[in-house]
Structure 1
Amino acid sequence: MGPSDIRDLLTAFSPSLDLFAMSAGDGRIKIWDTVNGQIQTEFADITSSDAASIYAGSVKGHLSIDYTCMKWLSLEEKRKRKHTSSLLVLGTGSGDVLALDVSAGQLNWRIGDCHPGGVKAVSSSTNGSCVYTAGADGMICKIDCKTGNLLEKFKASTKAISCMSVSSDGKTIATAAAQLKIFNCSDHKKIQKFFGHPGSVRCLAFTEDGQYILSSAVGERYVAVWRIDGAKKKSVSCVLAMDHPAVFLDSRCTPSRELDNVGVSVLAISEVGDCYVWFGNNIEELRNVKPIKISLSLEEISSRNYMGALPAIYAAKLEGIHNPTSGQILLVHGLLVKPSFQKISVHSGSDIKLNFSDDGVLLRLNKSLAKPKKAKDVKKVTALDRANAEDALLPIPKLFDSHVQEQEFQDSSGKEVMDGLVRSSESVSMEIEGTAKIYHLYCRMK
């Protein structure tokens, strides 16, 4: 049974982790409630830029939208402190950037052709009122989240930017193209650049304190940790090994037992749907620690029962760090049609195997629809057409010697069948009588 592949899946948690957005490449965006595990709403056919409702009522043309990245923001209005707007910002392959108000179910704003060639990444600070986008044109755009106005734009690379991340305090921004570069958000000056990824960088993430940047590239089975200190030439500070390349990164910091250091926790999800977690009091300890591997127990599951999508872990978030050796994680796993949301506690040195249950999932193939294994299981049916219709068996007419036999047959077979057979018997009797007359006439002639 081959592993799952979640490279093309887009996921995002709301800032409060109570909602989860997912797009599987079909032009739809599904919003799930992580508390009760039920789907809240679905967005499709986003074609206009007005504030009309876009709750999925029609699915016509939804495949035409190619989403490439997403970021979930939470905006609190100053006049209405209790009111919080949940905004989901998305980039498309056609270069558009749009923002969905999830709570209201409407399209807030849209910027057409913001990045010619396609939007590659979208990111923002923890409590920022603006969002940054990067594209194939090598440009970085700063957009006002509430209005959708383009605030500023600057050139970050002469080549296409594959990934981008903004620090939690909103002061620095990291971009990945041919090189990994760190910029100052205020004046766009380059702070530092790193070399070491031969392939295209797939994911970037700042540590919570902003002192390190995590990166992972296509085809590389490790997570690189870089220290941001302004040095001109800087090699990687730490390498965290994995069995498969990463598609998602997350990090949290916690007070360390050491006075001068901050504990660092790193989470990564591989492209086959396994989750890795590293805990350490510092970067040096993180380098030598063995990761916690969280995976689904799929030994008893046959890939023939699923239509090309095996259960996997395809989203996770470090929800809380108890100490430098343990924490709590929110996991999203199972099948895309009905994901499961689970909070688990993890401890250093203990791998976790999650049980999978497909109760209530409607993706299982019916046995009658499955292809037979052997040729002997195939039932052949001969169709009666003009070529072989003469081989069909016709009903044999019955002749009755008395009315008693006729009545018994009529009671058992029905009136309609009886009428047909009587007509057949009459025609046969006429044929026999005509044949007899011809025979007697022939005999007289002789």
Structure 2
Amino acid sequence: MATAGAGSVYDALPPPSAFTPGRRDLLALSGLDGRIAVWDSRGGGLRKEYVPSAHLSATCTCLAWAPSRGGQESHQKKKRKSESAVKDEQYDLLTIGTATGTILLYSIVRGELQSKLVGGHDSRVNCIRWHQDNGCLYSCSEDKHIIEWNTQTCKVKCKWKADNSSVSCMCISPDGKMLLSAGRTIKLWDLETKNVTRQFTGHSSAVTSLIFLRPPGESHSSSDTTGLYFLSGALHDRLISVWQVRTEKKATSAVLSFTLSDSPVAVDLAPSNGKDEPLKLAVVSRDGQLHLFKHVLNGNYKKPVAPTSTVQIATSGNDESSTPKPVPILSAAFYPDGESMLLYYGSTMQPVIEQVAFQTDEPHICLVRDTHKSAPVKRDTAVTKVKTPVVKSSGTNVLVPGIPGHSAALSAASRSAQSDRKRKPNDKEATIEERLGAMAVDVEPPKVQSKGRLPQTDNFSVLLAQGLESSDPHILNKVFQTKNDTLIRKTVAQIPLYSVLPLVHELTKRLQGHPSSAILMVRWMKSVLINHASYLSTLPDLVPQLGSLYQLLEARVKTMQKMSRLNGKLYLLISQVRPSGSKVLKANQDAKVVYEEESSDEEAGEDEQDNNSDDNWEEEEEEEEDDGEAETSGESSEEDMNVDKVNGDSDGDSGDESE
């Protein structure tokens, strides 16, 4: 069983959980309040509950069960123990990794902390694995190191740097000679020499699941690595990759990949019973679905393998007003028979653990459950050993309720006044101001944030997720108005994955709007593609969902060439009409040089005749009217008419000018 821890990188994942190997009798859960509960998966309710003394500062980041101790104990005992006690002894120690680097060993039988491993890691512990043979404990942390612990002496046996960044996950081979670690790359280590044998590269985010597997029918104790495989799953990656560990031929890519609906949370393999039996894999994704795979490992496969069945859980909508709601599956594990499974769903406070046998290979299976009726309520059987410290009365401070987080102590006068609860008839009741003064509470009102100030980066991501979920244009406009590239990049990086596609759709819609807003939307779209390219590339239906964005980009690219040509032509025209650097002459400027062409005598005579005709225009017009009325004939009148016809054009132009 492979589970992911909790931390800054794994905020999107549920709290860590771990089933006991083999019979799957117990389930260890880490709650959000720091409590660690051990539940009986057979329906026995809560078995143990442990509250660390520093549970608020050293929260649980990973859980792991120590190897079974049933075979190590002596069979000669005076008292016969109950069946439940025998089960607890088989898996006694629960290993707890914390955010401060400390590793705790909690005994289920005794109900108390057995030992503490301190001084190895100075940062959050991401993964813990036990060696099946020598009883050593291996841990990896954010401090880039892997530590081999001696659990008998609680000291560091060996410590080495495993990567240039944090080491997120580990896994030990079935023969106990090799160890897989995942940081920026997946490395295969020789536990004896602490040298790297091989490296695997294929994930762009933190690896959260590593598990070895062999094809059915092969012995797990064999030292031959030709038929040895391992599975890897990463955060924000919707694939489970299968790698082959080969010493002769070193492959550079995964031989097979299983497709999921979301990033993996828990991975488990069914035990193989025969050589001809296919591999059975169960993966719980972050969206609460269980994916079941049945596949025969035989060669490389280019296309990802789809799940055989997808299991979901929903509530029953009995009333007309109530609608069925999905119930997320938090973890799952195979039973030793390989046919039935244990499903863990609900919450960490009241988990529901159910055994289900899937006899069908339908692609989609929906289980209708009522979580309120099936949730266990047997919390009275919990045995928690909490010792109340004995404190002397002198020098103690009494805390009072008031402002959240306030730890001011009562003065001696106020304590003596409260001790005497019976008030005398003549005494006056103290005012609120006097009571606050006695409690030493600062009554100054808190500072109100200015309205014009924008929220910080972490609030921007929350606002953006809320605006996308509620489709509120006011919130979205407030967020999209920012022009700070750093703020845009951090906001996009912090939004949850389920908000990436709605953000892309919203940006596509806004890119089709006003050009001024489109300039800002391009910055957001660029940041989305840079930060979430690995997630978007794993979506099977990404192409139809981004159809409108593709059409928009193609239309803009087609018009770009025409617009560039038009821009070039206009630039040439403007540069020829008004060259760059030239000054325009003013209209009232006088010419410095005038050139006149010499004219012949005939042209001069015509000019004089035209001038005369222009001067006597009005007189000639009156004479023509008199001649028309008198109807006289003569050579002189004909000559005058001919002159008028010759000069008709010039007369008409001059007449127009006069008008």
TM-score bracket relative to the smaller structure: 0.5 to 0.7
Partners of 1:170 and 1:221 lie apart in 2 by: 30
Find the counterpart in structure 2 of residue 319 from structure 1: 335
- Per the alignment, residue 356 of structure 2 pairs with 344
Displacement of 1:251:
1.9
- 1:149 is aligned, of 136, 140, 155, to 155
2: CA distance, partners of 1:291 / 1:147? 48
Instruction: Kindly report which structure 2 residues correspond to 1:267-306, keeping only aligned pairs within 5 A, or say none.
Output: 267-283=282-298, 288=305, 290-298=307-315, 300=317
Alpha-carbon distance in structure 1 between the residues aligned to 2:91 and 2:272: 29
Query: Does 2:203 align with 1:184?
Result: no
Q: In structure 2, what is the Cα distance between the partners aligned to 1:301 and 1:161?
A: 48
**CA distance in 2: counterparts of 1:30 and 1:135, whole angstroms:** 24
Residue identity opposite 1:64 in structure 2: S
- What CA deviation, in whole Å up to 9, does each residue of 1:104-140 have, x standing for no partner? 1111111224212221111124555122100112211
Amino acid at match of 2:56: L
RMSD of aligned residue pairs (Cα, Å)? 3.0
| Match of residue 201 from structure 2 | 195
More strand by share: 1
**Is the 8 Å Cα contact of residues 143 and 150 (structure 1) preserved in structure 2?**
yes
Check whether the contact 1:128–1:170 (CA below 8 A) recurs between aligned residues: no
Aligned counterparts of 1:301 and 1:183: Cα–Cα separation in 2: 55
What is the distance in 2 between the residues matched to 1:355 and 1:37? 23
Percent sequence identity is: 23
Which residue number corresponds to residue 74 of structure 2? 80
Q: Confirm whether residue 220 of structure 1 aligns to residue 237 of structure 2.
A: yes
Distance 1:274 1:126 in 2: 31
Task: Name the residue aligned to 1:169.
Answer: 175
AA partner of residue 61 (structure 2): T
* Deviation larger for 270-279 or 245-254: 245-254
Matches within 5 A, 1:360-379: 360=373
Structure 2: how far apart are the matches of 1:334 and 1:242?
Answer: 21
CA contact 1:312–1:335 (8 Å) conserved in 2 = no
TM-superposed deviation, 1:346: 2.6
**Aligned partners of 1:152 and 1:341: how far apart in 2?**
39
CA contact (8 A) 1:100 1:107 kept: yes
Alpha-carbon distance, 1:253 to partner = 4.5
Query: Residues 123 and 133 of structure 1 are in contact (CA less than 8 Å); yes or no, is this contact kept in structure 2?
Result: yes
Q: 2:30, 2:348 within 8 Å by CA — same for their partners in 1?
A: no
Shift of residue 200 of structure 1? 1.4
Give unmatched runs, 5+ long, in structure 1.
48-61, 364-446
**Per-residue deviation at 1:347?**
4.7
Give the number of equivalent residue pairs. Answer: 334
In structure 1, the residue corresponding to 2:372 is in which secondary structure? coil
Whichever of the two has the greater Rg, that structure is: 2
**What SS is found at the alignment partner of 1:359?**
helix
| 2:279 aligned residue | 264
Residue 250 of structure 1: CA displacement? 1.6
Native 8 Å contact 2:17 2:27 kept in 1: yes
Kept after mapping to 2: 8 A contact 1:116/1:137: yes
1:64 aligned to 2:57? yes
2:347: which partner in 1?
335
In the TM superposition, residue 99 of structure 1 has moved relative to its aligned partner by 0.8
- How far has the Cα of 1:100 moved from its partner? 0.6
Supply the AA of the counterpart residue of 1:66. T
2: CA distance between counterparts of 1:114 and 1:154? Answer: 11
Q: Which runs of 5+ in 2 are unaligned?
A: 1-10, 76-85, 215-219, 378-659
Q: CA deviation at 1:239?
A: 0.8
2:135, 2:246 → 1: CA distance? 27
**Structure 2 residue aligned with 1:235, among 253, 271, 277?**
253
User: For residue 68 of structure 1, what is the amino acid of its counterpart?
Assistant: T
Question: How far apart are the structure 1 equivalents of 2:74 and 2:196?
Answer: 38
TM-score, with structure 1 as normaliser:
0.68
Change (3 A) 1:132 1:296: same
Contact 2:188 2:197 (8 Å CA) reproduced:
yes
Secondary structure of 1:63 counterpart: coil
Select the residue among 28, 34, 45 that pairs with 1:38: 45
Contact 1:173 1:183 in 2 (8 A): yes
Distance 2:12 2:340 in 1: 23
Give the AA of the match of 2:295.
G
Q: CA deviation at 1:72?
A: 0.9
Check 1:135–1:301 CA distance in 2 against 1; reply closer, same or farther (3 A cut). Answer: farther
Contact 1:37 1:341 (C-alpha < 8 Å) held by counterparts: no
Which has the higher mean CA deviation after the structures are superposed, 26-35 or 126-135? 126-135
What TM-score results when the alignment is normalised by the length of structure 2?
A: 0.47
1:233 is displaced (CA, Å) by 4.5
The 5 Å alignment of 1:81-120 reads 84=90, 86-120=92-126
